[in-house]
Amino acid sequence: MYRIIAKFFALGSLLLLPFQNVYAAEEAPLTAVGSTVVNAAEAKALFDKKAIFLDGRKDSDWEAGRIAGAVHLEVSAKLTKESLAKHAKVTDSIVVYCNGIKCLVSSNVIAKIRPWGYTKLFYFRDGLPAWKAANYPVE
């Protein structure tokens, strides 16, 4: 009896193995190539130094709230080399954020703009939820 139960659980575990990456993909990566990871306090220090905050979320998320003064260029529709150049030089410090650790937008934005020559990229993985929790300026 115990052998049958053990085999059942072993087989069940093997059947679920292909889906482990699906669940792992639900969180944003811990790092984004070509950027420096920052927490809320570090992002605020960059904000105080007039860094550009780039929000690549969809319009409805943007309208629901954002970091004060952020630039909105939706990653899939409006973020182009030309549109970003209207707001930032390649030498500017750019903090990229989205809806927190369950949001992949900010890492996708960094992957998209890094090849365009931007060198001072900051990945604010914790994003808007952490910013709001710290009572930093929002619109």
Q: How many CB atoms lie within 10 A of CB 100?
A: 19
* 52: three-class secondary structure by DSSP: strand
Confirm if 37 and 30 have CB atoms less than 8 A apart.
Answer: yes
Q: Determine the topology of domain 26-133 in CATH.
A: Oxidized Rhodanese; domain 1 (3.40.250)
**How do the domains of the chain map onto residue ranges?**
26-133
**Tens-digit pLDDT profile for residues 37-61:** 999 999 999 999 999 999 999 999 9
Write the burial class of residue 120 (CB in 10 Å: 0-12 exposed, 13-18 middle, 19+ buried). middle
Is 119's pLDDT higher than 70? yes
- Select from 17, 61, 44 the least CA-distant residue to 126: 44
Strands 120-124 and 35-37: parallel
